[in-house]
Chain A
Amino acid sequence: MAMAIAEKIGALYTRANKPLRLSRGTTTALIFILPALLLFTTLVILPMAEAASFSFYEWGGYGDVGQFVGLKNYQRMFSHPVFSRALFNNFLIIVVSILVALPLAFLLAVLVADKFKGVSFFRAIFFIPYILADVAAGLIWRFLYDGQYGVVQFVAGLFGFTAPYLLADRDLAMYAVLAVVVWKYFGLHMIIYIAGLQSIPREVLEAARIDGASWWDTLIRVIVPMMGPTIRLTVFFSIIGSLQFFDLIMPLTGGGPQNSTQTLVSYLYNFGIVRLNIGFGSAVGVFLFLVCVVFAFSYRRLLMAKD
């Protein structure tokens, strides 16, 4: 079948009567690409396109696609306070990633970028939270935060007061989640920064040293500017990662208490998938898709064009 499709496409070009020389290469290339193309189209592109069309329907997932409701799903979504809360939480995750996780990762990367005794040990410790599954990390922190058994409670007890059960507190739970976000993801950025730092030519640092620049001056005036492209890239990863944040939420809070820790994807899960609300969930999916794509394109165009 692969052959047949490839030949058909080939035939189209010959019929177009252009002086296009169809080398044996085109057929071969298409055969090589076909499996990827088929998988990608059926399981990534088609579902996305269907999400766009389902989002105009109200459908429980069984039988014929339900009733056409126009923009009603989108209206419901935008007027739902839990949705705004989820959106705000995603925003918080982005802010904390950029303002806390990235600087921390940068500082530690500067400290472990060159070789010294024990360096691989430190790198490993800092990096392991990242390769750990989010679900395992979430359960570990659920224990640390636990009101009865947790370490947070225990430490508070040493100082003579009782800590609130953070994850059960509507006003505090999201901050507890944010702390885990920093712990879990700074390692990824640190590794990227280390690679960037190692590609800075030694002569540059040498020159700064000879000019009598202090360690801090070298860092701020030489290293940070030279790391511009790498920093912009990690900001990009942080934002894309924050937008799809989900796996940590489930073991920590499941989105609660009272929906105070929902994110866009946990919102999609709890209000679309769990209730098999295909139309509504698809609308949330389409919104997420648009945010990701618009962000990715404009960020690349505006900030990474020169990198």
Chain B
Amino acid sequence: MRVNAFPVIRYAVLILAAVLVAIPFVTTLLGGFKSLGELRVNPLGLPQVWELKNYASILGGPRLWQYLINSLVIAGLTVALTLVVSSMAAFAFAQIKFFGSGWLLNYLLLGLLFPVATGILPLFIKLRDLGLLDTYWGVVLPQVAFGLGFAILLMRQAFLALPGELWESAQVDGCSYLRFFLQVTLPLSLPILSTVGVITLINSWNNYLLPLVVINSDANYPWPLGIMQYRGEYGTEWSLILAFVTLTIVPAVLLYVFAQKYIIAGLTGGAVKG
């Protein structure tokens, strides 16, 4: 009878776990609809009076939008540059035989071993000397540099899986490496480009430490810095802060809904093959 009991037990365990995991989200979403007074006595339940002014004041003001635009520009530049630079490198490693290939690849993969934090102070000095402090590029370029190892690793794996006959027949036709890369490799690799793009986007969108060190004016803050600033200013006006948090979560949830396949491929890629 164990077999028949399993579905019931499974649903029971999953529903319990889902409720526990979801409580923080639900209270945050609902908290934004409560007045401060109600929040204090009723943090968990549905609002007695649905207050729209928290959400309305944030959506109506310029700050949230400014932060989101900053994040979007930084993430957009990071994704574009990462895709260009790493697909070129991955192409060379996967499809061109050359002296020192293994060494150079291992060198670029070193970045996978340690976090940005280790060299952040010298990086800060370098960005200052280059005049990149408090600019989008000051965040974008280091993000690209640190993301290269992961991007090259995944792309090279995918490029290696392309059939070798493609290149052989292209060579017979006198096709150059550059043309082959642009007209054969890239068009055949859209899934891996999307996967790397989506993961790079999430990393950039959520990044906190690097912008914290590089960016220092409110007008240039990406949203994780903005939201901390907001929380600093509004102290314990939790209903306002919860509304703000909810609005910044929306893009992440939408991204998951639409790009789920690529997110999961990126996180498990190579993980299972070992």
Where the two chains meet, the residues of A that have a C-beta atom closer than 8 Å to any C-beta of B are 13, 20, 22-23, 25-26, 28-30, 32-33, 35-37, 39-40, 42-48, 50-51, 54, 61, 108, 111-112, 116, 118, 121-122, 124-129, 131-137, 139-141, 143-144, 146, 148-151, 154-155, 183, 188, 191-192, 195-196, 199, 214-215, 229-230, 233, 243-244, 246-247, 250-251, 264-265, 268-269, 272-273, 278, 281-282, 285-286, 288-289, 292-293, 296, 304, 307
State the total of A-B contacts with C-beta under 8 angstroms: 275
Q: Which of B108, B213, B227, B236 contacts A149 (CB 8 A)?
A: B236
Q: What are 5 inter-chain pairs, A to B, with CB distance below 8 A?
A: A28-B177, A108-B17, A154-B44, A251-B228, A293-B113
> Do residues A51 and B121 form an inter-chain contact, with CB atoms below 8 A?
yes
| Chain B residues with CB under 8 A of A54 | 121-122
Classify the secondary structure of B's interface with A: helix
> Do residues A288 and B253 form an inter-chain contact, with CB atoms below 8 A?
no
Given known pairs A32-B92, A36-B152, A273-B213, the reply for A43 and B271 (CB within 8 Å) is: no
> Do residues B117 and A268 form an inter-chain contact, with CB atoms below 8 A?
yes
User: Considering the chains assembled together, what is the distance between the CA atoms of A214 and B3 in angstroms?
Assistant: 9
| Chain B residues with CB under 8 A of A196 | 271-272
Q: Which of A37, A116, A264 contacts B108 (CB 8 A)?
A: A37
> Do residues A143 and B118 form an inter-chain contact, with CB atoms below 8 A?
no
Query: Nearest 4 CB-CB pairs, A to B?
Result: A47-B119, A50-B122, A244-B115, A43-B145
| Chain B residues with CB under 8 A of A23 | 97-98
Q: Which of B10, B11, B113, B272 contacts A230 (CB 8 A)?
A: B272
> Do residues B10 and A51 form an inter-chain contact, with CB atoms below 8 A?
no
Given known pairs A39-B145, A149-B238, A289-B118, the reply for A30 and B98 (CB within 8 Å) is: yes
Q: Which of A39, A44, A183 contacts B85 (CB 8 A)?
A: A39
Q: Is B150 part of the contact surface with A, judged by Cβ < 8 Å?
A: no
| Chain A residues with CB under 8 A of B148 | 36, 39-40
User: Considering the chains assembled together, what is the distance between the CA atoms of A141 and B224 in angstroms?
Assistant: 15
| Chain A residues with CB under 8 A of B10 | 111, 116
B126-184 at interface with A (beta carbon < 8 Å): 126, 141-142, 144-146, 148-149, 152, 177-178, 181
Residue among B6, B142, B223, B268 with the highest chain A CB neighbour number at 10 A = B268
> Do residues A125 and B101 form an inter-chain contact, with CB atoms below 8 A?
no
| Chain B residues with CB under 8 A of A139 | 227, 231, 241, 245
Q: Flag B190-201 by CB within 8 Å of A: 1 or 0 each.
A: 000000000000
B90-111 at interface with A (beta carbon < 8 Å): 91-93, 96-99, 101, 104, 107-108, 110-111
> Do residues B44 and A183 form an inter-chain contact, with CB atoms below 8 A?
no
Chain B nearest Cβ from A222, distance in angstroms: 16
Residue among A46, A51, A281, A285 with the highest chain B CB neighbour number at 10 A = A285
Chain A nearest Cβ from B211, distance in angstroms: 11
> Do residues B122 and A29 form an inter-chain contact, with CB atoms below 8 A?
no
Q: Which of A25, A243, A250, A251 contacts B177 (CB 8 A)?
A: A25
Chain B nearest Cβ from A278, distance in angstroms: 5
User: Considering the chains assembled together, what is the distance between the CA atoms of A257 and B124 in angstroms?
Assistant: 28
Q: Is B258 part of the contact surface with A, judged by Cβ < 8 Å?
A: no
> Do residues A148 and B236 form an inter-chain contact, with CB atoms below 8 A?
yes
User: Considering the chains assembled together, what is the distance between the CA atoms of A273 and B133 in angstroms?
Assistant: 14
Given known pairs A246-B117, A250-B208, the reply for A133 and B89 (CB within 8 Å) is: no
User: Considering the chains assembled together, what is the distance between the CA atoms of A263 and B237 in angstroms?
Assistant: 28
Q: Is B88 part of the contact surface with A, judged by Cβ < 8 Å?
A: yes
Q: Is B206 part of the contact surface with A, judged by Cβ < 8 Å?
A: yes
Given known pairs A272-B121, A288-B117, the reply for A146 and B202 (CB within 8 Å) is: no
| Chain B residues with CB under 8 A of A135 | 206, 208, 224, 227-228
> Do residues B252 and A36 form an inter-chain contact, with CB atoms below 8 A?
no
Question: Which residue of A is nearest B40, CB measured?
Answer: A149
> Do residues A140 and B245 form an inter-chain contact, with CB atoms below 8 A?
yes
> Do residues A148 and B40 form an inter-chain contact, with CB atoms below 8 A?
yes
> Do residues A36 and B44 form an inter-chain contact, with CB atoms below 8 A?
no
| Chain B residues with CB under 8 A of A244 | 115, 117
Chain A nearest Cβ from B100, distance in angstroms: 8
Question: Which residue of B is nearest A154, CB measured?
Answer: B43
Question: Which residue of B is nearest A307, CB measured?
Answer: B274
> Do residues A133 and B108 form an inter-chain contact, with CB atoms below 8 A?
no
Chain A nearest Cβ from B258, distance in angstroms: 12
Q: Which of B92, B114, B208, B231 contacts A28 (CB 8 A)?
A: B92
Question: Which residue of A is nearest B24, CB measured?
Answer: A140
